[in-house]
Amino acid sequence: MNNESLLKLLAEYKETKKCLETGLNWLEEKDYAKGKLDIVNVIIRDLEAAIGAERI
């Protein structure tokens, strides 16, 4: 996957993270959403690492 595609994917996941964080304020049971947010955070870290590795 090229760097441009990874950057686009990273932007999408960051937007998803922002939406999940905003939605948490309206939920009574936040555990499920927090679990999904944790997964999104892992994906973001992995994408950032992959982009950094491609620059080397």
Question: The dihedral of CA 15, 9, 41, 39: what is its sign?
Answer: positive
Number of structural domains the chain divides into: 1
Flag whether pLDDT at 13 surpasses 80: yes
| Model confidence pLDDT, tens digit, residues 18-48 | 999 999 989 988 899 899 999 999 999 999 9
Range of the domain at 43: 3-55
Alpha-carbon torsion, ordered 36, 38, 39, 43, to 10 deg? 140
Q: What is the pLDDT of residue 4?
A: 93
Q: What is the pTM of this model?
A: 0.85
